[in-house]
């Protein structure tokens, strides 16, 4: 990227010398306005997509499988886990449930099977024997962000409309006997089981609906998921102590299935206090934009240029309510250099006037190594469609020059 800029400024200089009237006997003077456009390819979208694969790996390590969403408006991650699927028979004395289910639950069913054919059969659940499952779902965003360049580009954003969905289904009446207790980061949530249908999801098939599943046993809406925090959902599925079970409630044979889904649409919204998105590696870190090696280095470009405008043409604009910020750190207590600008359509542009040029020439602001970021007020957003391809396709430079060289 720096090669493009240096080449652009070099061509501007040549253009100036070749188009100005130099018929001055004692001096050479350049005075005018010059401009140049160069094609450039810098795909921030691909960088973002590559880094978000960390999210897939992290969730996979937590036992969940990614299902691709093909018709959602925004790029959406759907993570799925089949927690439990089991056929049961009250008369099967060897019946065992998968790992994670307390052995007392299988014993409860076997015990009911012994008396099930009695005319007045009734069993009262007691002593916690009705516990089917007690586990956690973690959205490990801090783990993802620790090594993710994509997450490190973002500060102050939240994910809107994330959801955790639990599905409980089966046959024989067992699903209808169950209740769920939920805790989110240790805080208890009151929930009711709304539905006992299976999710219909398959890890071998893409998800084609435009929105999250609308039928579920329980949904937990996480409206403000901060990117620098984890969410831990504890769910406890059980038949409560004191529940009477008769033959009207439970068949001798049946099945039970428990599924969990994490729904993460990538519409990032600036939280309270605003947010920022830094475009990484646009200029080589530590290098001076004007090619100076030392603060005191002579530089004919800085002597010639009285003002300079640089524009970055984006392939598209996924940003809402954002302002452009160009900054370069200072030394020895200097505040450095900061340039504020606005975004117009697909154009990011900033202007360096004679006041800023004076700061660039200040040794305490060397090197001039600008970092470009987008600042968002609360509520501003970055929308990532499924075909998110935000990139930089063109650099444009224009300069006002005035230079006199005595012969």
Structure confidence by residue, pLDDT tens digits, 160-177: 888 889 999 999 999 999
Q: Are both 39 and 119 inside the same structural domain?
A: no
* Structure confidence at residue 6 as a pLDDT band (50, 70, 90): very low
307 bridge partner residues: 400
Query: First-to-last CA distance in the chain?
Result: 36
Mean pLDDT across 52-76: 76
Final residue in a domain of this structure, among 265, 299, 329:
265
- DSSP letters, 156-207, are SEEESSEEEEEEEEEETTHHHH-EEEEEETTEEE-------------TTS-B
Structure tokens at 307: 């003002």
Between vectors from CA 248 to CA 247 and to CA 253, what angle results, nearest 5°? 55
Q: Are both 93 and 193 inside the same structural domain?
A: yes
Q: Are both 14 and 96 inside the same structural domain?
A: no
Mean pLDDT across 349-376: 86
Give domain status of residue 58, yes or no.
no
Burial of 221 (0-12, 13-18, 19+ CB in 10 A): exposed
Give domain status of residue 243, yes or no.
yes
Q: Are both 149 and 293 inside the same structural domain?
A: no
Give domain status of residue 50, yes or no.
no
- DSSP letters, 2-32, are HHHHHHHHHHHHHHHHHHS----SSEEEEEE
Give domain status of residue 175, yes or no.
yes
Burial of 208 (0-12, 13-18, 19+ CB in 10 A): exposed
Q: How many CA atoms lie within 13 A of 270 on its CB side?
A: 19
pLDDT of residue 56: 62
pLDDT of residue 206: 93
Average pLDDT, the chain: 79
> How far apart are the C-alpha atoms of 104 and 95, rounded to whole Å?
12
Contact 352, 309 (CB under 8 A): yes
> How far apart are the C-alpha atoms of 86 and 255, rounded to whole Å?
6
Q: Are both 238 and 114 inside the same structural domain?
A: yes
Work out the percent of the chain whose per-residue pLDDT is above 70: 77
* Structure confidence at residue 31 as a pLDDT band (50, 70, 90): low
pLDDT of residue 125: 96
Q: Are both 70 and 200 inside the same structural domain?
A: yes
How many structural domains are present in the chain? 2
Q: Are both 249 and 317 inside the same structural domain?
A: no
Which residues form the domain of 39?
2-43+275-406
Give domain status of residue 372, yes or no.
yes
> How far apart are the C-alpha atoms of 238 and 104, rounded to whole Å?
12
Final residue in a domain of this structure, among 265, 291, 312:
265
Torsion of CA 362, 363, 366, 370, to 10 degrees: -10
Q: Are both 111 and 221 inside the same structural domain?
A: yes
Q: Are both 118 and 207 inside the same structural domain?
A: yes
Q: Is the dihedral of CA 262, 266, 269, 274 positive or negative?
A: positive
Give domain status of residue 51, yes or no.
no
Structure confidence by residue, pLDDT tens digits, 204-260: 999 999 999 988 899 988 877 777 777 888 999 999 999 999 999 999 999 999 999
Work out the percent of the chain whose per-residue pLDDT is above 90: 26
Q: Are both 98 and 128 inside the same structural domain?
A: yes
Q: Are both 288 and 181 inside the same structural domain?
A: no
pLDDT of residue 99: 86
List helix spans (H) across 307-377.
354-361
Structure tokens at 276: 């920022």
Final residue in a domain of this structure, among 209, 237, 265:
265
Torsion of CA 383, 386, 388, 389, to 10 degrees: -160
Question: Residue 294: phi, psi to the nearest 5?
Answer: -135, 160
pLDDT of residue 39: 53
DSSP conformation class of 98: P
Structure confidence by residue, pLDDT tens digits, 379-399: 888 877 666 566 667 777 777
Q: Are both 34 and 71 inside the same structural domain?
A: no
Give domain status of residue 53, yes or no.
no
* Structure confidence at residue 19 as a pLDDT band (50, 70, 90): very low
Structure confidence by residue, pLDDT tens digits, 305-329: 788 887 877 777 777 778 888 888 8
Question: Residue 367: phi, psi to the nearest 5?
Answer: -80, 155
Give domain status of residue 52, yes or no.
no
Contact 287, 2 (CB under 8 A): yes
Strands 27-42 and 371-383 turn out to be unpaired
Structure confidence by residue, pLDDT tens digits, 180-205: 999 888 888 888 888 899 999 998 99
Structure tokens at 102: 């307390």
Give CA separation, 133 vs 44, 47, 136, 181, in Å. Answer: 43, 40, 10, 11
Give CA separation, 76 vs 55, 279, 385, 389, in Å. Answer: 12, 22, 9, 15
Question: Is the confidence at residue 29, as pLDDT, over 60?
Answer: no
Question: Residue 55: phi, psi to the nearest 5?
Answer: -65, -40
pLDDT of residue 244: 96
């Amino acid at each position: 990227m720096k090669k493009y800029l240096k080449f652009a400024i070099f061509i501007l200089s040549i253009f100036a010398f070749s188009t100005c009237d130099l018929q001055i006997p004692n001096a050479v003077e350049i005075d005018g306005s010059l401009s140049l456009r160069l094609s450039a390819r810098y795909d921030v979208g691909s960088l973002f997509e590559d880094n978000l694969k960390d999210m897939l790996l992290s969730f996979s390590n937590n036992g969940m499988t990614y299902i691709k969403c093909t018709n959602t408006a925004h790029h959406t991650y759907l993570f799925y886990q089949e927690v439990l699927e089991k056929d049961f028979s009250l008369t099967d004395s060897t019946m065992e449930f998968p790992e994670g289910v307390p052995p007392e639950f299988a014993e409860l069913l076997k015990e009911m099977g012994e008396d099930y054919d009695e005319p007045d059969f009734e069993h009262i659940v007691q002593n916690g024997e009705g516990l089917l499952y007690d586990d956690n779902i973690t959205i490990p965003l801090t783990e993802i962000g620790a090594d993710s360049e994509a997450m490190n580009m973002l500060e102050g954003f939240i994910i809107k409309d994330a959801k955790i969905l639990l599905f409980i289904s089966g046959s024989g009446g067992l699903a209808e006997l169950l209740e769920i207790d939920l805790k989110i980061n240790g805080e208890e949530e009151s929930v009711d089981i709304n539905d006992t249908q299976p999710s219909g999801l398959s890890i071998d098939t893409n998800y084609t609906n435009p929105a999250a599943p609308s039928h579920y046993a329980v949904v937990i809406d996480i409206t403000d998921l901060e990117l620098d925090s984890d969410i831990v959902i504890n769910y406890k599925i059980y038949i409560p102590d004191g529940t009477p079970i008769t033959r009207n409630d439970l068949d001798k044979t049946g099945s039970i299935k428990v599924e969990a889904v994490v729904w993460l649409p990538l519409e990032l919204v600036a939280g309270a206090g605003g947010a920022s998105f830094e475009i990484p590696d646009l200029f080589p870190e530590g290098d001076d934009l004007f090619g100076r090696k030392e603060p005191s280095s002579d530089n004919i470009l800085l002597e010639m240029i009285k003002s300079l405008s640089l524009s970055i043409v984006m392939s598209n604009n996924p940003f809402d309510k954002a302002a452009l910020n160009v900054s370069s750190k200072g030394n020895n207590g200097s505040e450095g250099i900061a340039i504020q600008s606005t975004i117009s359509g697909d154009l990011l542009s900033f202007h360096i006037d004679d006041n800023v040029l004076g700061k660039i020439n200040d040794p305490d602001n060397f090197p001039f190594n600008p970092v470009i970021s987008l600042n968002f007020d609360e509520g501003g957003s970055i929308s990532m469609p499924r075909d998110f391809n935000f990139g930089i396709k063109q650099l444009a430079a224009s300069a006002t020059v005035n230079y006199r060289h005595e012969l």
